[in-house]
């Protein structure tokens, strides 16, 4: 066994779904901003245990789709079903509480805070003791904090960022900031992890590291992952299935090899007019 993951106990919760069963379903979703139709009648699903990529040219509607999934945007039409439960107007904090975590296209961390504290902030939803106890720093709140810190240390080991645990994240190179942001999302122990361009702005080595961590999160923690990514090499390497959007419409959906040979997908990437 890989020494790096020997002590990791962080696992996605047991939600009663068997691997391969549909975890999240997007049905006939449409979303407009004024006159701009960002998403038009899109349907697809995400199955438990898979790495699902959402790809497409710039402006295709990928980030809007992720924002619909985690409740940041509410579609004018269509339904999102998570673990069999239909949700029309779910808020982001409700999505998070139900086991959906996400990272952002542009790193969204507390720049003046350390790696450790940023990842700790991902535990907020898991904290049960109230603010009064936390302020006193004694009794049950103290025990709870120790437990949270242990989880956070496991994540720090897992992501191999021990050497920067005390460093303010604003001082870190971009690739490491992205890794810390992944750590913060993992601190929520999500069942479904949404990653918005996890490799953006990275060099080749950083991309290889991030790919490895994503695969390890999926394999070792059992976390289902949906990711938006522009690097086709990475997408085709690590994804189980790929959904392709173009101008807000779905133009392809299937395993990487099938999607690669889909003529509509090839045309969209070559900029063939519609
Ligand atoms: N908050 C918003 N207000 C108005 N229009 C928006 C908003 N968010 C997205 N759009 C528009 O919706 C469309 C889809 O945008 P979206 O960001 O989802 O695409 P994307 O595929 O993620 O693009 P990229 O790869 O460039 O990040 C675009 O035309 C965009 O300008």
Identify the pLDDT of residue 37. Answer: 94
Give the residue whose CA is nearest to atom 13 of ligand 1. Answer: 38
Strands 100-102 and 249-254, by their bridges, are: unpaired
| Location of structure tokens 């969204």 | 108
Identify the pLDDT of residue 8. Answer: 43
Q: What is the DSSP string of 10-67?
A: ------SPPTTSEEEEEEEEEEEETTEEEEEEEEEEEETT-EEEEE-STTSSHHHHHH
Which residue numbers in the chain have pLDDT < 70? 1-14, 107, 125-143, 271-274
- Cβ of 38 closer than 6 Å to ligand 1, yes or no, is yes
Identify the pLDDT of residue 88. Answer: 72
Identify the pLDDT of residue 26. Answer: 96
In the reported structure, the alpha carbon of residue 54 is separated from the centroid of ligand 1 by a whole-number distance in angstroms of 14
Identify the pLDDT of residue 243. Answer: 97
**Closest Cα to residue 117, out of 182, 167, 61?**
167
Task: Delineate the domains of the chain, giving CATH numbers in brackets.
Answer: 3-270 (3.40.50.300)
Report the residue among 32, 33, 243 best suited for mutation to probe ligand 1: largest number of ligand atoms under 8 A from its CB.
33
**ipTM (interface predicted TM):** 0.96
Q: pLDDT tens digit string along 82-105?
A: 998 888 777 888 888 889 998 887
Identify the pLDDT of residue 6. Answer: 37
Identify the pLDDT of residue 269. Answer: 82
Report the residue among 30, 38, 73, 251 best suited for mutation to probe ligand 1: largest number of ligand atoms under 8 A from its CB.
38
Say if residues 190 and 97 touch (Cβ distance below 8 Å).
no
In the reported structure, the alpha carbon of residue 226 is separated from the centroid of ligand 1 by a whole-number distance in angstroms of 18
- Cβ of 64 closer than 6 Å to ligand 1, yes or no, is yes
Identify the pLDDT of residue 31. Answer: 96
Give CA separation, 39 vs 45, 217, 220, 248, in Å. Answer: 16, 29, 34, 4
Identify the pLDDT of residue 131. Answer: 53
């Amino acid at each position: 066994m890989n020494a790096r993951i020997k002590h990791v106990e962080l696992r996605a919760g047991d939600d009663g779904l068997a691997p391969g069963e549909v975890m999240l379903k997007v049905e006939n979703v449409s979303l407009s901003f004024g006159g701009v139709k960002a998403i038009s009648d899109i349907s697809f699903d995400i199955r438990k245990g898979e790495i699902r990529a959402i790809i497409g040219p710039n402006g295709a509607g990928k980030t809007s789709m992720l924002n619909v999934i985690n409740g940041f945007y509410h579609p004018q039409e269509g339904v999102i079903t998570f673990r069999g439960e239909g949700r029309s107007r779910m808020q982001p904090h409700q999505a998070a509480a139900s086991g959906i975590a996400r990272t952002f296209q542009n790193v969204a961390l507390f720049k003046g805070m350390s790696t450790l504290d940023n990842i700790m902030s991902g535990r907020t939803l898991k904290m049960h003791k109230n603010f009064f106890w936390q302020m006193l720093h004694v009794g049950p709140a103290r025990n709870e904090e120790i437990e949270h810190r242990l989880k956070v240390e496991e994540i720090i080991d897992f992501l191999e960022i021990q050497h920067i645990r005390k460093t303010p994240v604003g001082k870190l190179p971009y690739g490491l900031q992205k890794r810390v942001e992944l750590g913060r999302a993992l601190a929520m122990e999500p069942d479904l992890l949404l990653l918005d361009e996890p490799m953006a702005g990275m060099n080749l080595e950083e991309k290889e590291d991030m790919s490895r961590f994503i695969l390890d999160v999926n394999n070792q923690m059992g976390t289902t992952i949906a990711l938006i990514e522009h690097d086709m090499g990475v997408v085709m390497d690590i994804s189980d299935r790929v959904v392709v959007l173009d101008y807000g419409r779905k133009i392809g959906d299937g395993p990487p090899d099938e999607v690669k040979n889909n003529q509509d997908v090839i045309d969209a990437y070559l900029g063939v007019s519609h």
